[in-house]
A and B are shown apart, each in its own frame.
Chain A
């Protein structure tokens, strides 16, 4: 088998097919990642910090045809969405419907959508949202013990300092 000389054209074709397979594989991963990436959209109906827009008294919001969420002035709620492009339908108190399209950045998991800004056509209606660090509750810590690790395993530099769960005897 080792003594066999393969035709250079066959070798070239083989390489080409393998390269094409790799390209298709990478393309598929990128496509699935792009289409399936989940984001949490915080629907915010509050006054803008700079006072440029005011909260709406009572609105109903539906994202990508999901069940509508009712929001009063000062309310916040959230919607889970998939992919980058989304349709936001806002129904204002008098029954008037406003439909807007938004695009969310691929690498941000959580975004804040200011509905008053969206309706006012402000460009910064969608901004990344960083939740404050919350001390995990005991429930959050479930399945988080060191049963499979050395009890005195050192934490990495810069790792969040959370309460250490009891070590299994």
Chain B
């Protein structure tokens, strides 16, 4: 009986992962893609996306839910990349320049985001999502009107023909796959971007170390219960702001890594879905609004991208249109976020019921709360 119960619990807890795994495995054959191709795509996409998804961890530890405000960091990263292209800085130096140039912007953005989210405690996710729309307007204003007029831009190739504003699409020839090819290692049929992996590994080490620091412990205390943390002398608001600042800065670097891998940049909407896909990935990996780990990041990136790779091919084969696979991506992305949030709310309600039962004389249980 208890075996059945634990199996049921295991299935419930990993419902999203299992669902993705089943759909992906079923879609591999109709997609017509070889396992070697899918494997190579996974290695490439793991390098492309993992940094961005890892940027979501600290706000989750701090109890702020999934940081949809990471889009602000992505915009800052794109701002840095535009400057690197403008000044014609090549290769990895271009990436470092972009990261350094965007650092002050992302720090300010992170601070603003943190302050705003502190005013909206308990509703951080939706606030972050809307805040990203607001800051998007400012970004568009800066890039479309100020660059080339107020901010001097000397690279005419990236300026609109009217004399100011940046073109809709920028080719990042200067920095294209510069990090990926810096230390590319050939392993059988696969090429591994080891330099990118090392950067990601360094971030993982940083996160593990950070969790053990005083600030990291404070963050977890705040994430567990803000009121208890406040009563224990933890500066809750400051800790939450720091979590968001770090997340925003990491998102900035993540977007730069992402863009160098893609090789071109849609100036006005490349950042639109950054948080959306990062959040979808970490949720697919088995994380929740309240709980996440480094393992969730990698499982999520692999599963989500495996589905993305096989979907267009499967859509073409099954329905005669590759676009159906493309629509399926969007459907799956939004669907998984919705499913995860619903499952999370359902679990939280069950926990609350258990807590009530405990108060009535049964076994007490700890209820989960979280950002909306």
Q: Which residues of A are interface residues toward B (Cβ below 8 A)?
A: 1, 25, 28-29, 32-33, 35-39, 80, 82, 109, 136, 141-149, 153-156, 158-160, 162-165
Contact = CB atoms under 8 A, between A and B. Distances in A.
A36 B169 contact: no
A143 B140 CA distance: 16
B160 A144 contact: yes
A162 B161 contact: yes
Given A146-B162, A156-B163, A32 B96 contact: yes
Interface in B141-161: 144, 148-149, 155-156, 160-161
A1 B234 CA distance: 12
B334 interface: no
B90 A160 contact: no
A46 B91 CA distance: 32
B322 interface: no
B163 A158 contact: yes
A36 B167 CA distance: 23
Interface in B87-125: 87-94, 96-97, 100-101, 103
Contacts of B197: none
A36 B162 contact: no
B93 A32 contact: yes
B262 to A, nearest CB: 15
A29 B160 contact: no
B174 interface: yes
B165 interface: yes
Contacts of B100: 25, 28-29, 32
Given A146-B160, A162-B161, 11 more contacts: A28-B100, A29-B97, A80-B90, A143-B169, A146-B162, A155-B162, A155-B163, A156-B149, A159-B164, A160-B156, A160-B161
A154 to B, nearest CB: 8
Given A29-B100, A38-B174, A82 B161 contact: no
Contacts, number: 85
A156 B87 contact: no
B160 to A, nearest CB: 6
B222 to A, nearest CB: 17
A43 B90 CA distance: 20
A144 B167 contact: yes
Nearest to A140: B157
Contact of B89 (A38, A141, A146, A156): A38
B89 A32 contact: yes
A136 B161 contact: yes
B174 A147 contact: no
A29 B149 CA distance: 24
A148 B93 contact: no
A143 B165 contact: no
Contacts of A136: 161
A38 B88 contact: yes
Contact of B144 (A25, A143, A148): A148
A143 B163 contact: no
A157 B91 CA distance: 34
A26 to B, nearest CB: 9
A159 B163 contact: yes
A105 B148 CA distance: 23
A148 B164 contact: no
14 contacts: A33-B97, A35-B93, A36-B92, A36-B93, A36-B94, A37-B88, A37-B90, A39-B88, A148-B268, A149-B160, A156-B148, A159-B162, A164-B162, A165-B161
Contact of A82 (B91, B165, B169): B91
A141 B97 CA distance: 28
A142 B101 CA distance: 28
Contacts of A37: 87-90
B161 A141 contact: yes
Nearest to A80: B90
Most chain-A Cβ atoms within 10 A of its Cβ — which of B91, B93, B167?
B93
A31 to B, nearest CB: 9
B273 interface: no
